[in-house]
């Protein structure tokens, strides 16, 4: 699969974290204690969307195993190959019937050209999110994760992510985690680097004592 040259590489992350620390004292204090987050890059394209379906509601390790089985099952990871694969074979690889339904729906949308994976690259963030969430099985969180890590968009904040909300509550010393709406308001001044801020919150979530 193709990869972008990441605008969220080590040097860019360091520079943008310096910016965020300059506009948010809580970020500055946490950055001094935990350092910047490491870069994170995911593939783009059909396989990335298939992987998102496979990963839903299961652990990362289990998802990796099942995705490996699915990839080995297909002659190539493409919409055509998936549509030609029997549901029973996909089920034996570890996919639930619901995920098979979502995967076949994704493949069908790609085949019919009602969903243009490559075309997402030229779309604005909100237009791309709208196109992705029109697919069965894809909510806003899935779309935002694709934009952030596969398309490397720099100003995404997946406000429905539980770990981000918990980390933001701790960072801001709140009594409880904020709602998604409250979270968006709390980090509005992180624009235009909210993806970097999100990356830092995940980093902070795993590093800060509970």
Tens-digit pLDDT string for the chain (210 aa): 343 335 678 888 999 999 999 999 999 999 999 999 998 888 899 999 999 999 988 888 999 999 999 999 999 999 999 999 999 999 999 999 999 999 999 999 999 999 999 999 999 999 999 999 999 999 999 999 999 999 999 999 999 999 999 999 999 999 999 999 999 999 999 999 999 999 999 999 988 655
The CATH classification number of 46-150 equals 1.10.340.30
Domain spans of the chain, in order of start: 10-39+156-207, 46-150
Q: Give dist(CA 87, CA 209) in Å, integer.
A: 45
Query: What is the pLDDT at residue 208?
Result: 67
Rounded Cα–Cα distance for residues 108 and 80 (Å): 8
Report the greatest alpha carbon distance in the chain.
55
3-state secondary structure of 139: coil
Please give the Cα distance from 206 to 208 (Å, whole number): 6
State residue 40's pLDDT score: 84
Radius of gyration of the chain (CA): 18
Give me the residue label for tokens 């001044």.
189
Q: What confidence score (pLDDT) does residue 8 get?
A: 76
CA 30/CA 95 separation, integer angstroms: 40
**What topology is assigned to 10-39+156-207 in CATH?**
Endonuclease Iii, domain 2 (1.10.1670)
- DSSP structural state of residue 177: P
Position of tokens 């235009």?
192
Whole-angstrom distance, CA of residue 14 vs CA of residue 71: 35
- For the full predicted model, state whether its pTM sits above 0.85: yes
């Amino acid at each position: 699969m193709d990869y972008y040259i990441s605008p969220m590489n080590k040097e860019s992350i360091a520079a943008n974290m310096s910016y965020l620390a300059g506009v948010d004292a809580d970020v500055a204090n946490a950055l001094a204690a935990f350092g910047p987050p490491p870069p994170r890059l995911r593939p783009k394209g059909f396989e990335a969307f298939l992987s998102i379906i496979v990963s839903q509601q299961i652990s990362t390790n289990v998802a990796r195993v099942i995705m490996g089985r699915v990839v080995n099952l297909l002659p190539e990871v493409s919409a055509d190959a998936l549509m030609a694969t029997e549901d029973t074979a996909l089920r034996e690889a570890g996919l639930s019937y619901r995920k098979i339904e979502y995967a076949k729906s994704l493949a069908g949308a790609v085949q019919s050209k009602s969903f243009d994976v490559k075309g997402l690259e030229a779309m604005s963030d909100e237009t791309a999110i709208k196109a992705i969430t029109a697919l069965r099985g894809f909510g806003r969180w899935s779309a935002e994760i694709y934009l952030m890590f596969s398309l490397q968009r720099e100003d995404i904040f997946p406000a429905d992510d539980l770990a981000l909300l918990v980390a933001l509550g701790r960072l801001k010393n709140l009594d409880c985690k904020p709602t998604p709406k409250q979270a968006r308001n709390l980090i509005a001044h992180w624009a235009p680097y909210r993806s970097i801020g999100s990356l830092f919150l995940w980093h902070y979530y795993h590093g800060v004592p509970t």
